[in-house]
Structure formats: structure tokens, C-alpha cells
Structure 1
């Protein structure tokens, strides 16, 4: 008999929603609480590379958003002027009927995930979190912030970079660290030639163009911000143009069209990695709560999605909860650590202006690692 029949998920971001879907697909009862009173979505768009496309197909949600997304095969790495240095073909890991890669707006993705969660019968409560947890016997007693209570076989923390659950399990041992870089994003109508993920190597950061749909793409650029300055909202467009000053070609043309500061999405890059088992008893953490990294390899959300799928598989694979979570860790730890370390390394090399760094080689290695079965 399955040891886990009822689960609480704390956090309603991509990782939490995917975990809810994965567990419901295994007939596990799921409650999900999200601290936000309104389910707003932060950011512009998201890249789902071959391994993520594979896992979304497993979750049964990929068909639900392909029409709202942009499917593409390849990734190019280019100079600041747009001269191509490498073209890396994608792999159709989800099967020949699906694309290698997908670009999608976060809003469109959230809509499909949240609708799927509702259709699968997940109990979702917004504006709510936990007040306290007590592990008693073969369960976890939870007191919620509205004074209600619940008892669960397992609690899953998907509450992000500033995870309250991580603090509860590990204290102050693991705190987010600012890397020295930030990322800037801005939406544009999709240019005809941007039918793939195009990245551009700059002198102080890297830029990229990501197709999100038939008529939309976004531009991103990383920048070195050693003092982590507070950016005045009214100056964001000017500041983003300045960070793109070393680029010509299409990026240079687009730079001059960045005029609306309200449309600039600016984010300092912070990381955290929990270097010990991500669970204590019957409470386990996934996603950014335990392995938040930088966007240099485009795999941050992908690792959270993989966590969700693997957790769903292990919770019905027999054995005690301890054995299930041990197997989960065995399948996830080294893979996530490779992505975390490699992403941070790429950013460090950017800030050091290390021209000898083989970014193309790292991207190829990442694609090989993530293509492997989990």
C-alpha cells in the first residue's frame, strides 16, 4: 500500500503547480497553499529546453499550451554583432511529434498549469501559508495562518528562493547569495529571423532573443552590478539601454526601442544550494527552495519541473517515506548541482571577462547531461 495518500504543497509557482499535477496523476490527494492573495506571475517568458519538454509531456500538460507557445529546434551563439559562432541542434526528447524546445510567456504557462490543477481536483487556497508544522508519528500536523488545521502524510516545500520552510528545516545555514550580476528583460514583436533561441556574447554580459509566440519575443541581457544597487523604476529603460551599449546588429536596433521603464523586468541574480538531503522526516523541499541558480543555462525552472515529476514517480514506487525520499535525492542531487554550479560558473566567467572560457562547450555538455534519463 502506498505510504503517501495526502500531501500539502506550500507554494504555487511553477514547481508547486507541477508537483500538484504529478501527484494527482498518481491519485494522491493534494492541498496547495499560496501566500499571494492574487495568483500573479512574475517575469516575461520562459525557455523550456528538450529535457523540460519531455517532462511536461509526461505531466500531460504540453499539448495544452503548445498553441500559445513558440516551438523551435536550435540554439545559436553569436557575437555582439550577430555573427554566428555555433548552431546547436535540439533533441526531440518527448518524441518525434513534439518540438525540441519551447518558448512561452509565463502568463500562458501559468494559465494552463493552474487550470490543470483545478481540473484534477487539487484544493487550492490563496492568501494562506502555514503557521507551524509538527511531525507526529506517521504524519505532519499543520497549523495554517488562518487558524485552520490539517494532517498530511508529506509536506512539499515549493516556496521559492526565500523559502520559509527551508528556514524551518535548516535554520540560517542556507541563505540566498547575490552573485554580482542582474538580468534585464523586455518584450518585443518577434523579428522574422528569431525562430530559435539566439544568444549573443558581450564584453560585460550576454544578451539573447527568445521567441515566445508567433508575434512575440523577449530580449534579455545580464550585467555586472557588484554593489547590487537599488534601481529607480523610472530609469529602468535608460539603464537597460546602457547595459546593451556594446551590441550592434539586431540587438543594437532593438536597444533603441527600449523606452518604457514600466515594461522592463529587472532582477538581481541570487542563488542558493542546499548541500545535504532536502528533507527532514516527512517534509521535503523542491525547486528554488533548495537549488535556485542563475539563468545562464536556461534550466532553473526546468530543474523544479523535473523535481516534481521524479517526486511523483517515487511516491508510488514502494517502500517507506524515508526510502522514497532517499531515492528522490539519488536521482536529483547531482543533476541539480551540475546545473547550479555550471550556471554560476558561466556568470563568474562573464564578470571576469574571461575570453578563454568555453561557453559553447559548456552549453553542449549541459544539453548532453540533461538529455540523459533522470
Structure 2
């Protein structure tokens, strides 16, 4: 018999939904609450590298969205003019029948995750979060923000960078900090040569192109934004073109096509890392609530997905709940810290314009680490 028979997941993003799916597949009852009243995601893409492809196949989800995604093998790094610097072969960690990497729009992925969770019997409620948590030896009494109540064996905070659950556990101890950079994203029709993840190293930032479907790719770039300035939404296209001024080649050609400010997705980069066990008693943090980092290595959502898989395995592997959560932390802490620290390092070196920084070496090391079993 499992130490926990029912779980509340707070947050309906990628990490929360994957946790809900993983737990339901193990026979655990799951309720999920999401603060948004409209369960939508912003319309850019996500990179799923080989370790993430492996875990999505493990969850039985990969086949459901491969048709709406773009499968690719390699990662290539170029100069700002498009001259090749390195090409890193992908690893088919999910097996020879699956690709090494996948690019997919967040909307397409959310559709599969949310529909699967509901089909598996997850109790989903939108437009609310948790107001208060009261623990005792056998469970957690939950007061929701709409005044309703529930009781659960475990509460999982998967509610992101500005996690309400993290605040209930740790108070103000862990607050997101602005890293000094922001990320910009913009969708384009896929160029024929972008059949892989293409990263372009710039003088004060980097840009990349990610294939999402046969007819879709997105451009991203990071920029140094001291003071975290407010951006007028009407000027985002012009601002993005300015940030790409140092790029030639394909990025330079695409730059002049960025004209619609409403299609620019702009996000200041903030990070937080809970540098102690991510749980207290029967309440646990996963994903960005525990270890939000920057997108420089493309592993933020991947770490949340891995959290979900490991949690489902440990909650059904015997022992007390405390023993299960200790095992969870032993499998997750150092791995997530490596990704967090390495991603932040890459951003810091961009800000410093450290031309001697071995970004290619860091990417290769990340791929080595994440290829290891979780």
C-alpha cells in the first residue's frame, strides 16, 4: 500500500500536468488546481532535448504529440554570420524508433497534456489556488482561495516562479531575482535549412532558431537589460530588431521581417533556487517553484518533467512518505542545481562579453549529464 493515496497539485503548467499524469498512471488519485480561469499558454515553442524525449516516452505521451511536433537530431552552433562552429550529434535516449530531440509549440503540447490528464481522471479546477495549508501526521488540510476545502496525503507545488506554495512553506526566504537579461521570441515559417536547433553566438547575447513543425519555427534571443526596463508593447518589434542588430546571415534576414509587436513574446529572465530540501512534511515543490532558471541550456521545463517522473516512481516504491521524499531529493537536487548554475553561468558570461568562455564545452557537458539516468 502506498504511503499516499491522494495528491493535490497546485499549478497546471507542464510540470504540474506531467506530475498529474505520472501519478494517475501509478494509480494515485489526483486533484489539480490552476489559477488561470482560461487554461491557456503563450504561443511560442519549447525544445525537448534527448533526456526529455526519453521521459515523455516513459510517460506514454510522446506518440500523442509527435505528429504535431518537429523531430530533429542535432544541435549546431554558429557565428553571428552563420559560419558553423560545432555540430553536436543528438542521442536517441528514448530508443532507436524515436528522435533525439523534439521542437513543439507550447499550445500543441498543452493540448495533449491537459486532455490526457482529464482522460486519466485528474480532477481539474480552474480559477483558484491554495489559501492555507495545515499539516498533521496523516495529511494536509487545504483551504482554497474560493473558500472550499480538501484533505490530501501530499500537496505538490508546481505553481511556477512566483509560487504561492513556496511562500507558504518558506515565507520570503526564496524570492525570484532578475538576472540582468531578458529573452525575446518570435515565430516564423520554417526555413528549409532549419532542420536542427541552430544557435548563433553574438557579441553580447545569443540567438537561435528552433523548428516546431514542418511549417513553423521560432527565433529567440537573449539581451542584457540593466535595471529591467519597462517595455512598451507597441514598440516590441522595433526593440527586438535593435537587439538583433549584430547578426547577419539568416538571423539578419529574419530580423527585417519582425514587424508585428503583438507577436513578440518578451520576458525578463528571473531565477530562484531552493537551496535546501524542497519539502516540509507533506508539502513538496517541483519545477520552477523549486528551481527556476534561465533558458540558456533549454532544460527548464525538462527538469520539471523529470521531477514529475521521479516523484511518481518514489511515491510508489515503498517506505514512509518522508523516506520517499528524501529519495526524491537525492535523485533531483544535484542534477537540477547543475542545470540551474550552468544556465545562469552562460547568461553571466554573455553579460560580461567573455569571448574566451567555452559555451560549446558547456553544452556538451550538459548533454552528457542529462543523458545519465534520472
Judge same fold: TM > 0.5, yes or no. yes
Q: How many residues align?
A: 374
Gaps spanning 5+ residues in structure 2: where?
A: none
Q: Name the CA distance, whole Å, in 1 between partners of 2:65 and 2:348.
A: 35
* Partner residue, 1:191: 191
* Offset, 1:137: 2.2
* Partner residue, 1:81: 81
Deviations 1:262-291 (A, max 9, x none): 000000000000000000000000000010
* Partner residue, 2:41: 41
* Partner residue, 1:116: 116
SS where residue 143 of structure 2 aligns? strand
Q: Name the CA distance, whole Å, in 2 between partners of 1:304 and 1:123.
A: 21
Q: Name the CA distance, whole Å, in 2 between partners of 1:183 and 1:146.
A: 35
- Structure 2 counterparts to residues 25-104 of structure 1, below 5 A: 25-104=25-104
* Offset, 1:113: 0.1
* Offset, 1:42: 2.4
Given that 2:132 and 2:168 are in contact with CA atoms closer than 8 Å, whether structure 1 keeps it comes out as no
TM-score of the superposition, structure 1-length normalised?
0.99
Deviations 1:66-122 (A, max 9, x none): 000000000000000000000000000000000000000000000000010011000
SS where residue 211 of structure 1 aligns? strand
- Structure 2 counterparts to residues 321-360 of structure 1, below 5 A: 321-360=321-360
Q: Name the CA distance, whole Å, in 1 between partners of 2:220 and 2:366.
A: 20
Deviations 1:327-351 (A, max 9, x none): 0000000000000000000000000
* Offset, 1:131: 1.6
SS where residue 121 of structure 2 aligns? coil
- Structure 2 counterparts to residues 185-334 of structure 1, below 5 A: 185-334=185-334
Which moves more between the two structures, 317-326 or 134-143?
A: 134-143
SS where residue 217 of structure 1 aligns? strand
Gaps spanning 5+ residues in structure 1: where?
A: none
Q: Name the CA distance, whole Å, in 1 between partners of 2:43 and 2:346.
A: 22
Q: Name the CA distance, whole Å, in 2 between partners of 1:205 and 1:322.
A: 43
Q: Name the CA distance, whole Å, in 2 between partners of 1:61 and 1:265.
A: 27
Q: Name the CA distance, whole Å, in 1 between partners of 2:106 and 2:30.
A: 23
TM-score of the superposition, structure 2-length normalised?
0.99
